[in-house]
Amino acid sequence: MDLLSITATNWARAQFALTAGYHWIFVPLTIGLGLIMAIMESLYVKTGDEKWKQTTKFWQKIFGINFAIGVATGIIQEFQFGTNWSNYSWFVGDIFGAPLAIEGIIAFFLEATFITIMFFGWNRVSKKVHLMSTWLVFVGATLSAFWILVANAWMQHPVGMEFNPDTVRNEMVDFWAVVVSPVAYNKFLHALFSCFAVAASFVAGVSGWYLLKKRNVDFAVRSLKISSIVGLATFILIAVTGDGSAYEVAQKQPMKLAAMEGLYEGKEGTGLVAIGLLNNAKESYNDNTDPYIAKIEIPKMLSFLGYRDMNAFVPGIKDIIDGGYTLPDGTTALSFEERKARGQIAIQALADYHVAIEEGRNTDAANHELILKENYAHFGYGYLETAEDMIPDVPLTFYSFHLMVMIGMFFILFFMILLFFLYKKDIKNTRWLQYAALWTIPLSFIASQLGWIVAEVGRQPWTIQDILPVEVAASAVSAGNITATFIMFTLVFTGLLIAEVTIMVKQIKKGPEQN
């Protein structure tokens, strides 16, 4: 594709994907290391063993390097809501901005305040005060992630709001509905545990490198024990919370679930694809081409995971577009054409409402407002042109999801083996496992990125599910301007990543300070 032919909206999407992807390299390691170093320091305070202090201080340095660069990428990411997505910011800023404001005022402030004590207070405050500061840095980082994920979850499942036709804005009416939405807490827990898992694999990999080099062996074994326990526990919890997230996707975003499974035609008792190869010859959702070249599936499992019923009907892409099937609440699903028509009615009612207000026809304005409210759930469909606009990138969503799951299953087995050799065998002389630990570092980062690809690509074309399509949310900025900043951000972020890796490698080669 000619780069000059790409629309401004797609450039804006690419730029946000770029900054979010780079930012999420640093965030999981920051949050996960926060937990691991807090556990290590707790052991130091409890036992008085100076070796635990040495271990904690080393991982705190790695944490600090990563934290600094993560902050820089996060700030740039938030600026884009005002530059590239100003229509979105206007339309839902009263709601979306609230969690981000709380994150900045409370969570980041907490994190930034106590990080100074954590780094520079070792010989200036008591052991318990220092330990408290370390835990509070971790709590601050976790709260920061929580509020950001609440905002993201609201985009996936907008609740606790009402549309104000006078301001043409969505306004929050129930703060706690936004905060305690089942989509929000499932997303938060799943993402949080993935952060712990990334850090655990990173610590295990670096420790494996020390064992391969036969240096700092005691430090490496101590780090391995903590990281392996954290890693195994959190990868199991990732599977549990992933099930909860998938259930919410089935209820709230059935098109995403269909894309995750490459499911075009639904049925009762739908199987879960364990391994599959999609058929590139399938060109349309309603052709008769088999969507799979080959697949292995677990019978009825998708029905159970999505609806807690082995025989439940799971709609496919074609079903969602055509409508007519029975929804879990007993109502009949509308087709795309029906939802588009209702969306257009809502859009027109909004325009008619403003005309009536300007002309002083209050009764007519009230009638138009009522029509708008009755059809607002379909508002975004009025901007879509064809049924194909509803369908996300199926291959990208499908393969990202299944590769993520396979990596997760691998890590459960990996950490089980690692713990076995740590406590029952001799990990110090098991070189194949040391190499395995080292080379699994990138796998956890890849799995973490794949999770966000599934979450964000799978919900397209929506910035806000069913209410605001991406095309309407974008700013009126030229493609050329966004292209220039895209290239600039690519160079800057790549430079930051190279700088971070270089500094980390130097610090790792230097090793922990000797007491």
Does 398 map to a domain? no
Does 431 map to a domain? no
Token digits of residue 131: 């330990």
445 and 197 Cβ atoms separated by less than 8 Å: no
pLDDT in tens, 456-487: 999 999 999 999 999 998 888 888 888 888 89
pLDDT in tens, 173-222: 999 999 999 999 899 999 999 999 999 999 999 999 999 999 999 999 99
502 and 465, same structural domain?
A: yes
464 and 342, same structural domain?
A: no
- Biggest CA-to-CA distance, the chain: 85
> Of 207, 197, 181, which is closest to residue 450 (Cα–Cα)?
197
175 and 404 Cβ atoms separated by less than 8 Å: no
Residue numbers of the chain with a pLDDT score lower than 50: 1-5
pLDDT in tens, 123-135: 899 999 999 999 9
Does 277 map to a domain? yes
28 and 102, same structural domain?
A: yes
353 and 303, same structural domain?
A: no
> Virtual CA dihedral for 200, 204, 210, 214, nearest 10 degrees?
150
3-state secondary structure 90-157: HHHHHHHHHHHHHHHHHHHHHHHHHHHHHHHCCCCCCHHHHHHHHHHHHHHHHHHHHHHHHHHHHHHC
182 and 62, same structural domain?
A: yes
Token digits of residue 309: 């019923």
119 and 25, same structural domain?
A: yes
Does 230 map to a domain? no
Token digits of residue 193: 């545990």
Token digits of residue 163: 């549309």
45 and 135, same structural domain?
A: yes
170 and 301, same structural domain?
A: no
232 and 253 Cβ atoms separated by less than 8 Å: no
404 and 447 Cβ atoms separated by less than 8 Å: yes
* Domain edge (last residue) among 363, 383, 403: 383
Say what the pTM is.
Answer: 0.92
Number of independent structural domains in the chain:
3
Q: How far apart, in whole angstroms, are the C-alpha atoms of residue 250 and residue 434? A: 40
What pLDDT sits at residue 514? Answer: 67
Does 418 map to a domain? no
154 and 178, same structural domain?
A: yes
* Domain edge (last residue) among 349, 366, 383: 383
362 and 315, same structural domain?
A: no
Does 223 map to a domain? no
Does 118 map to a domain? yes
Q: Provide the residue range defining the domain that includes 314.
A: 258-322
Q: How far apart, in whole angstroms, are the C-alpha atoms of residue 185 and residue 201? A: 24
142 and 59, same structural domain?
A: yes
47 and 108, same structural domain?
A: yes
Does 175 map to a domain? yes
